[in-house]
Each structure stands twice: as structure tokens, then as C-alpha cells.
Amino acid sequence: MAKKIKAVMMAGGFGTRIQPLTNSVPKPMLPIVNLPMMEHTLNKLIETGIKEVVILLYFKPEIIKNYFGDGSKWGVTIHYVLPDDDYGTAGAVGFGREYLDTTFMIVSGDLVTDFDFKKILEYHKEKRSKLTITLTSVENPLQFGVVIANEEGKIEKFLEKPSWGEVFSDTINTGIYIIEPEILDYIPVGENFDFAKDLFPLLMQEGIDLMGYNATGYWRDVGNPDSYREVHDDILNRRLEFKIPGKKIDYPDGTLYLTGESEIDPSVEIIDTVVIGGNVSIGKRTRLHNVVIGDNVTLGSECRIRNSVLWHDITIGKKVVLDNAVICNETQIGDGVSAKAGLILAEGCKVGKLATFEQDVTVWPGKEIEPAAIVNNNVVWGTRYRNTIFENGSITGKSNIEISCDMACKIGEAFGSQLPMGSKVLVGRDYDKSPRMIKRAFVGGLLATGVEVLDLRDVPPAVLRYNIQRDDSIVAGAYFRKNLNDPASIDITLYNEEGLRLDGNSAKAVEKTFFKEDFRRVDYTEIGKIHDSEFYRKEECLSYKAALENSIDHKIVKSGGFRIAVDLMFGITKEVFPQIMTDLQIDNIILNAYTDARKLANIQHHKIKSKQDISAIVKNLGLDMGILIYPHGQRLTLVTDRGEILDKVEALTAVLKLMDMQAASEGKKMRVFLPTWAPDLMDPSYRHLMIKRGKYANFKASTLKRFDLIATIDGNYAFTEFSLHRDAMYASLKIMELLTRHNLKLSDIAKGMTHFFYQTCRIPCPQSMKGKMMRKFLEYAKGKRASTVDGVKIWENDSDWILMIPDQYSEHLNLYIQAADKEKGMMLHDTYGKMIEEWMQNS
């Protein structure tokens, strides 16, 4: 190519339709014959002569960036663009315009094709086109944009995802485009803008010809698990021109592609096409027929594997039969397991000996199948060793999959069966449609047990919990929210009559009823009622606001001229907190006080941007403080008047310092409860605080009322003068009041802090090894200062300690380390990390 051409790879999709394969990786990084799908596309672009690539990211961007780096390994330059929202296909490309100063090709990172990219570029050049769309013919065009082009290639008509009654052609838009840079002028900045829906009609209206190139060959959008299996079947049966990586070795009945050093017994049969990665061991008399095997896989003797894809770090026993299977990372399959009619086994699963999968079954991540089990349905909930539905007081799972409407109804019935007939339960939810749907199913279960429901609909959990606590007629509560770490998941939290999460015993009672399905079913005349009038919702919110405003000495805050910026992070507090600030007449700048489901689905990215924005606003406008209130209104981040963002330890230190000063001014001691893992190096400086550390679970109201503050190290604060539960709205105002009362700035407190090392980390540990790790830690602790209140805590000296708590639900050890400085802290980390590794190896 005489002219320099660049490429744009679209790699921002969530991969929702292809779950559970995308449980921990973005869809473009799914392995196709042992290489990420988008790496095959990158290699095709490189073969075309392209040397500069822009990759558009969105979902789990760090995985793609860590793998491809700057592109030097492939001999190209890679630029990454991460839009701060979902701006549509064209809008996302517009974010990369600073790199697109020449003709560029757009291709999706989640497709497989053998189109000749050079011919597409030559056609674009020959037609002197401003925008060329690559077309192809398919048997079923319903899922794609149908296109008609005239004899010269000019596109005359197109329709996105038609019904059969609208289909006017079998020629579809493949999403592969060649574009001249001046077309970017038609794409607005920071608006949702799609190629097919917005840009193409606009260009045609402006009289700019869109050209269509009819490509021949193979093209597949890998959008669901079936298409993932089918694309491997097409590659292994040579239905497309596809470069299979690895050294080619001919066998009597097939061909082996070997991409690393592996041990393959001479008796192994290779039939048709087999791809094997590195560090693979395959036992005697095993037969492989159209199979892809990744790295670090052990396959026992006399197995029969056909039309299957095995990812990485897998152990498979003897005499295992798999046909049409996808086996994901870090799975274990015992001897004699059979899956002859299709299986998707997601990552981290364990299958016991002689288990049988009778039909095309999907097993979701982290599940354990009992030995000799006969599995004929999808396995989406629970594991053998947990036998529980609660995790840390909540029920969490994939919405509409792990937590279906049927399951939610049964949870409602199990919960309602523990409550007196005719009693009243307060329920609420956040902004998302999934919690709304699941909440309605749950409410149906409650009504079936004769329980009355007061539905507050979308409301902050702090408001719901406050009103449970204050109203003696309410005996329990439930809240439904989207999980911010996994947009596909939902959290259900159940509360007792004091607005506290169910303790372990109450949760077990609900679980027992749930699993036994021993529900109380009342006569139709006694079925409960739903009270969901807007009147109730307003009354409960007003009650909360009035109580909060009466608990804060807002006259002090107002007289101090306190000025603050608050970022509500698109969350549920948008209708409550701004009004409270107005009522208290506190000068404020409120950011992101609206709900945006797309931004909430990628809140980890927006959290970074929110911190940057609020820091700049506070600093440049000379405000007294900045606060980020997380979407569910329970957690906060503090920003000083200098724009410094306090980390979790610094924020806790600042709040404790303010409490200490307030206790001194009142001439008394204040009591604080912190979890065992909270740092304690600064404790001696709080002369007027009595700090107790303990297990952060199964609280009773009578215990909590003995403390003035209950806090974690994650921005969660409960000031018990107002409520016993974490509440970022009240905590924000209380911190303002204390700063004003003592004529302090947050930066003043930050300057006086002693900085030290504090780190949390997780180390993988099988469930079967957790008991041994506890024993080894206890043995090592002999002769040292140690505690077993929660896990095992070992002091190396007065300031340096390590705490190990086995994770109750996942196969990890949680480590918490405090040290006087980073060097000592990392030494502790490395020393104990090495010991844990040795203890596990010597089991």
C-alpha cells in the first residue's frame, strides 16, 4: 500500500449473550484455537500491511491492555481509547479521532473471518469512496443490517435487524468499514451515535455516497456459546482459510498443531485436526478427534475427546468422554466422567468421578458436581461445600439466571415463613430493571405466606433501613440492587426488625426453609396485601430527611460558610441528598445527580473519572471539601480542600481524629468499633477514643448501641446517634459538622498523619486446604503475639502484623498486612506468601 492505512478494533462489548464464557474475560479475548479471538484479527490486519492500530475498550479494559501492551511484540503501534460511557459504535470511534488522521479500517474484535482485507482496501481506493461498507450474503439475515447496493456498488437502502416480513435482501452489513478521516466531522463528540442508525442515514442525506464491497468467504459474529463451538468446528474441518498456530505434525488419521513443549504418549490417536498448547500431558490410548487443548492441561489415559475446546489449567482424569464440550480455565474433571451430548463447563468447576451429563448442559463458574451425579439441567446455583444461598448477609447471583423469578419467589416464601402472619415487611430497590423484576417476584412469595408488604420502590437503602428501625410495626425488610462489580448480577439483602442484616442463625433458618420448600401457604382469604402508594414512599423519605436534619447541627455548618462539592455517581441518592443539602442551606455543587444504567454498568471506570473531576473542582474553586457518594449511598470517598483524594486508611484516620477531638471537647470517652483487619498504628494518638476490634458480622442492636461509631476501612461509617447502619449521606454531613465545629480543614488533618504501609490481598487456596492453612498459621504463631478473634493475626513487633482470614465463600485466603514502612510491609508479604506456597505444596 502506498498510502498509510490505520485500523480501529472494536473491543468494548460486555459479552452478555455468550455467558458464562465471558465470566472473567471480555468477549474479544475468548480463545480461538488457543489465541485470543482479536489476536487473529490483529494478525490479519498486520498481513494487510497495517502498522498502527487503535483499540476501543470498555468492558474489563485492563485484560486487553495487559495482553497486547504497546503492540511491539506484533511489530505494530497500539493506541488504546477508553470512552467514559457507551457512546454507540460511531461515537466510540469518534473518541479516537486524535489518532485517525488517514484512511482507517474498522473491524470488530469478536468476529472470525477469512475475508481478503487487501481487496476491500483496493476497492475503497478504486471507487474513491469516503466510506465503504463490507457486505456479504448469509442464509439468515435477521440479526444483521440488510443492505441493497446498485451495480456500481453504491448503497441505496439498508435496514437494521429486520423481521422476515421486512427482509429485502440476503446481503448484510458485516461491520467492517473503510473510512476517510473527514467523515469523523459528522460524528458528534460525547453523544450516543451509531454507524447504521445515525451516521449512514446522515451521510446519505448529505449526498455522500456509501459504497458496498461484496466480500466472499467466511464471516461469523461469535455472539453466543453455540457460535463459539461452531466456529471451532468450521476451523478444524477447514471450512475457512484460517491460520492455525503451532508446528504441524502429520499423523495417520489427522494433523496435530503443537504450540509448545508437551508430553503426548505415542499411543494417543489424532483424528482430523487437533491443536495442543504448551505443558500438556496426554495419557496412553487417549483418542482426540477435532479438539483444541490449551496450556497446562493434564489429560488421563483412555479418554475419548471429540469436537471439543479445552482452555488452560485443566486437569482431566482417566476414561473421560467429552463430545461437543467447552471446558474453561482452572477446572477439574474426575475419572470416568461422561458428557456425550454437549457440555459447557465454566471456569473453576470441579466434577467428581463417574458424573454423567445427559444432555447439552451449562455449568456456571465455581460449581462442584458430586461424584456419580447425573446432571440433566443447567447448574447455575450453589456448590457442594457451601450449601448456602447467603454470602456476607446477602444473596448474590446472575440476574435471571442464578437468581430467577422462580427462585426469588421461593426466597420470599422462605423469608415470609419465618415471620408472623399479618406482619409488615418494608421492601425497596435501586434504579435498575433487574432488581425491579426480581423484587416483584420476591414480593409475590411474601404475599403467599400472609405477610403485608410496604413497597418503597426505588429508594436508598439507608432510607429503608432507617424506617425499619424507627417503625415498631415493621418486622423486617428487603432490598434489591444491581451488583456494582458485576453488572449482570443482583444482590438481595434481608433485614431484621432493627434494620440490620440477618444474622447467621436467621439466615440458616431461611435457607433451611428454602431448600426443603417447607413454606407456609395461607388460605386465599389471608393472602397479604401490597401497600405501594406514592404516599408511603414520600412519607418514609420525609421521615428520614427530617430525622437526619434534626441530628446534624446545621447552624454550625451554615455559620462556617461551608462549601462542598458532591458527586452522587449516578446513584440512588439523587432524589434525597440534594434536597437535604438545600434544606440545610449548605453551599454545594452536585455532580452526576441522575441515573445512567450504562455508566453504572462500568462504575469502576467512572469512579476514577469522578475522583479526578471532583479533585479539580474543589481545588480550583477553593471549596472546603469534596465527597464521592457511591451509587447505593452507603460508601463515601473524601477529598480535601487541596484536592487530595484520601485513600481508605487516610479517610478512616481523619474521621477517627475528628471523633477524638469531639470527645475531648465534651470531656468524655467515645467508643468505636472496627473490624480486626483495620490498621491500628495510629491508635495511641486517639487519647479520647476507646477502640474495639472484632469480627464484623452477626451484629445485634444492643451491641452496636454501645458504640458511637462503627466503621470499616472502605468508606463505610455508621454514626449510632442517628442509625446503626452505614449511611454515606449522614456520614458526609456529620464530617462537615465536625470540621466546622473544630475550625479545621481536611488538609490540616491529612498533613498531621503518620504514613505507614497497609495492604490487602487474596491468595488462591483450595477449600480442602483452608483448615491446614489455619493450623499452619497457628503453629507458626507460637511464641509470638497472636490473636484468633477472626482468622489468625500475628504480630512481628509492636507495629507490624499480618492477618489471615480464609474466605468463607471463595477459594482464597484474605491477607491484611500492616507495617511501619513499605520495605517492611513487602518483606512480610513475600515471607508469608512463600510460606503459604510451601505449606500448600507439602500437603
Contact 480, 437 (CB under 8 A): no
Residue 514 CA to its chain's centroid (Å) = 27
Contact 638, 747 (CB under 8 A): no
* Nearest partner of 384 among 366, 368, 402, 363, judged by Cα: 368
Judging by beta carbons within 10 Å of its beta carbon (0-12, 13-18, 19+), is residue 62 exposed, middle or buried?
A: exposed
Report the pLDDT value the prediction gives residue 58, as an integer from 0 to 100.
82
Report the pLDDT value the prediction gives residue 505, as an integer from 0 to 100.
83
Non-local CB neighbours of 457 within 8 Å, separated by 6+ positions: 428, 429, 532, 537
Q: Give me the helices (H) in 127-224, please.
A: 200-205
N-terminal to C-terminal alpha carbon distance within the chain: 60
Three-state secondary-structure class, residue 89: helix
Name the helix (H) or strand (E) containing 620: helix 603-621
| CATH class, range 394-543 | alpha beta
Backbone angles phi, psi at 757, to 5 degrees: -90, 130
Residue type present at position 728: A
* Nearest partner of 673 among 647, 708, 723, judged by Cα: 708
Q: Give me the helices (H) in 158-261, please.
A: 200-205, 225-236
Report the pLDDT value the prediction gives residue 384, as an integer from 0 to 100.
35
**Alpha carbon distances (Å) from 614 to 564, 588, 589:** 10, 12, 10
Q: Where are the beta strands (DSSP E) in 383-539?
A: 394-398, 424-429, 452-458, 474-482, 489-495, 530-531
Three-state secondary-structure class, residue 60: coil
Calpha distance 276→298 (Å, rounded): 11
Non-local CB neighbours of 69 within 8 Å, separated by 6+ positions: 78
Calpha distance 817→831 (Å, rounded): 12
Contact 62, 38 (CB under 8 A): no
Calpha distance 300→263 (Å, rounded): 12
Q: Where are the beta strands (DSSP E) in 622-750?
A: 625-629, 636-639, 670-675, 689-694, 709-711, 717-719
Calpha distance 201→190 (Å, rounded): 19
Which set of grid coordinates corresponds to residue 33? 484455537
Axis-axis angle for helices 822-841, 770-781 (nearest 10): 120
- Please state whether the predicted TM-score (pTM) of the whole model is above 0.75: no
* Nearest partner of 401 among 368, 374, 437, judged by Cα: 437
Calpha distance 394→482 (Å, rounded): 12
Domain ranges of the chain: 6-220, 244-375, 394-543, 552-751, 757-841
**Alpha carbon distances (Å) from 109 to 96, 227, 246, 374:** 16, 15, 22, 38
Axis-axis angle for helices 728-741, 461-470 (nearest 10): 90
Non-local CB neighbours of 838 within 8 Å, separated by 6+ positions: none
Residue type present at position 158: F
DSSP letter at 526 equals G
Q: Which residue has the cell 452505614?
A: 726
**Alpha carbon distances (Å) from 299 to 294, 324, 457, 574:** 11, 17, 52, 55
What's the average pLDDT block by block, 10 residues per block, for the chain (843 residues)? 83 79 89 94 94 90 93 95 83 92 94 94 94 85 70 79 48 90 92 88 92 92 89 93 91 93 93 96 96 96 97 96 96 96 93 91 88 80 51 83 89 96 95 94 97 94 94 95 88 95 88 85 93 73 87 80 93 92 92 87 84 95 96 95 95 96 95 95 94 86 93 94 94 95 93 92 82 84 89 92 84 91 94 91 72
Which set of grid coordinates corresponds to residue 186? 459528522
CATH of domain 6-220: 3.90.550.10
Non-local CB neighbours of 273 within 8 Å, separated by 6+ positions: 235, 236, 237, 238, 244, 254, 255, 257, 290
Contact 99, 6 (CB under 8 A): yes
* Nearest partner of 414 among 521, 523, 510, judged by Cα: 510
Q: Give me the helices (H) in 106-160, please.
A: 117-126
Residue type present at position 125: K
Which set of grid coordinates corresponds to residue 709? 461509631
CATH architecture for residues 757-841:
2-Layer Sandwich (3.30)
The sign of the CA dihedral 636, 649, 825, 786 is negative
Bridge partners, 711 (sequence order)? 717
Residue 791 region, left (φ>0) first, then alpha (ψ -120 to 50), else beta? left
DSSP letter at 649 equals H
Rg (CA), the chain: 30
Name the helix (H) or strand (E) containing 672: strand 670-675
Q: Which residue has the cell 479438539?
A: 291
**Do 6-220 and 244-375 show the same overall fold?**
no
* Nearest partner of 95 among 86, 108, 104, 103, judged by Cα: 86
552-751: CATH homologous superfamily? Alpha-D-Glucose-1,6-Bisphosphate, subunit A, domain 3 (3.40.120.10)
244-375: CATH homologous superfamily? Hexapeptide repeat proteins (2.160.10.10)
